[in-house]
Structure 1
Amino acid sequence: MITAIIVDDERINIDNLQALLVRHCEDIEVVATAISADEAKEQILELEPDVVFLDIDMPGKNGFDLLRSIEDPSFDVVFVTAYDDYGIMAVKFSALDYLLKPINIAELKITVSRIAQSVIAKRHNLRLNNLLKLLDRTLPDEQQKIALPSLKETYLVPVRDIVRCSSSNNYTTFFLINGTEHLISKPLYEYDELLSPYGFIRCHQSHLVNKAHVTSILNEDSGYLVMDYGGQKVPISKQKKSSIKTLLKL
């Protein structure tokens, strides 16, 4: 899913574009809207969208002012304007996407297709960069990331943010510290091998936990590990209970 922010000083224009995206471009999710450059900057820095649909002509700070205020922007930009003036000429020379108001649906679909290709390329580059850093051992353990490929996209997740992993047949669900869950079509044993050097413990045939997020052991049944995220309880197999206590120094 491609994440987007719409920036326009007129709410009716925001609502119109958002409705067109919902109706005709299912791969884009509008995560925020803004009616000024200052509000947009806050949203962009917080949410880190893949693309910003940006009105050029806004009172106070215009769209170009917004871009100048953000250091090293990594998102794609689609300029949206009612005027085919000098600003759009600069956009054309820079080979950036733009849409003229009123928005033509066919042009919108073409633009979104270009955005999707750009986002995929960037994500592939991120994955390659992650590979090179791992090979060069340039990242300390606490900054290592793991790629989690789902059906629609690949997520690069900091290892330290993984609370636990749970398996069902050949699928593994990752539970992150922010409450996000990712279902990955790979068996748990593959991630056991990858993550054990980073303090992960296979406490059960179907469960792998990050010992940094374990708060205690419950002595009910064969035992449970209590995680610091929401007090989740993860079962311990009888065969592993003694070794788990040793690993956790409990």
Structure 2
Amino acid sequence: MITAILVDDEPINNSNLNALLSKHCKEIKVIDTATSVDEARSQILALKPDVVFLDIEMPDKNGFDLLKSFQNPDFAVVFVTAYDSYGIAAVKFSALDYLLKPINIEELKNTVKKIKQSLVAKKQHLKLDNLLHLLAHPQPYEDQKIALATQKETHLVPINEIVRCESSNNYTTFFLTNGIAHVISKPLYEYDEMLSPYGFIRCHQSHLVNKTYVLSILNEDSGYLMMSFTSKKIPIAKQRKAQVKESLIVNKSKAGDIHRHFL
């Protein structure tokens, strides 16, 4: 779902656009409307929309004044106005698109397609920026981050803050040490290969855990893992039980090395 704020000094215009989006562009969710620049700025800061449909000509301050008030706007902009003469200025402000009133349905649909393409590109750029940064500045494990793209935004999450991952069909939920959970529209196997070098264990078809946060192994059924930051028992698949225990329990040779180190 793409979130949007509608800004027009005429409330009826906001209502009409909201109705058009609701009927013809269901992937857009209008989360608020504003009738002034100051009101719009407050709403944008609080709600962080993906896109702002912005009237240009308004009393006191216009749409360009709103954009100038943001040092680095992180939302897409679609200008909606009755004045074609603003077109060049809108392009200079790098608006995603430009709609003339009264709004044509097909033009609105095309604009929404551009919004979707823009948001996908934005997520890809964030992932690429993260990759280039890691290549240019190699980091120790505790500083490594993974890009998790949700419908709303791409989160750059430190790997050592991931407690566990749980799959449901083609979705994977990441549970973090701060209690936040991110639902990602990718299957678990993609992250299994990616995270296994960082101490993650695939204990079950639906579960990938960070062994740093494993507290104990319960000998019930085929076995369960008890984890930090959750009271949920994480099942161990019968065929994976030996592999999981081997990964978690220090073997004798390592135990001997540790013993000698402390003597």
Range class of TM-score, shorter chain: 0.7 to 0.9
- Specify the SS of the correspondent of 1:117: helix
CA distance in 2, matches of 1:43, 1:147: 26
Does structure 2 retain, via aligned residues, the 8 Å contact 1:2–1:27?
yes
Tell me the residue number matched to 1:124.
Answer: 124
| Identity score, percent | 52
Cα gap change, 1:28/1:206 in structure 2, threshold over 3 Å: closer, same or farther?
A: same
2:207 match: 207
- Aligned with residue 244 of structure 1, among 226, 243, 248: 248
Match of 2:165 in 1: 165
Which amino acid in structure 1 is aligned with residue 89 of structure 2? A
Q: How does 1:133-152 map to 2 (within 5 A)?
A: 133-137=133-137, 141-142=142-143, 144-146=145-147
Does structure 2 conserve the Cα–Cα contact (< 8 Å) formed by 1:81 and 1:99? yes
1:184 paired residue number: 186
Letter in 2 for 1:175: F
Task: Give the TM-score normalised by structure 2.
Answer: 0.70
Q: TM-score, with normalisation over the residues of structure 1?
A: 0.73
Task: Give the 3-state SS of the residue equivalent to 1:173 in structure 2.
Answer: strand
Q: Which stretch of structure 1 is more off in the superposition, 15-24 or 3-12?
A: 3-12
Correspondence 1:14 to 2:14: yes
- Structure 2: give runs of 5+ residues left out of the alignment: 251-263
Structure 1 contact 223–241 (Cα < 8 Å) conserved: no
> C-alpha offsets along residues 72-124 of structure 1, whole Å, 9 cap, x if unaligned?
22332111123445x44522565642222232212212322333333333333
- Gap change, CA 1:197 and 1:61, over 3 Å in 2: farther
Do the aligned partners of 1:133 and 1:139 also contact (CA within 8 Å) in 2?
no
What is aligned with 1:98?
98
Offset at 1:184? 1.4
Structure 1 window deviating more from structure 2 (113-122 vs 60-69): it is 113-122
Number of the residue aligned with 1:67: 67
Question: Quick one: which amino acid aligns to residue 74 of structure 2?
Answer: S
Secondary structure at the aligned position of 1:184 is classed as coil
Match of 2:80 in 1: 80
- Look up the equivalent residue of 2:12 and give its one-letter code: I
In the TM superposition, what are the counterparts of 1:223-234 in structure 2 within 5 Å? 223-228=224-229, 231-234=231-234
> Could you tell me how far 1:199 is from its partner in structure 2?
4.6
The 3 A distance-change label for structure 1 pair 94 and 173 is closer
Shift of 1:57: 2.9
The verdict on how the C-alpha distance between 1:216 and 1:50 changes in structure 2, with shifts beyond 3 A counting, is same
Flag structure 1 segments of 5+ consecutive residues without an equivalent. none
Aligned length: 239
After TM superposition, give the deviation of residue 65 of structure 1 in Å: 1.6
1:41 corresponds to: 41
The farther-off stretch of 237-246 and 27-36 is 237-246
Bigger radius of gyration, 1 or 2?
2
Partners of 2:58 and 2:125 in 1: how far apart?
A: 34
In structure 2, distance between residues paired with 1:243 and 1:64: 58
Q: Does structure 2 retain, via aligned residues, the 8 Å contact 1:218–1:226?
A: no
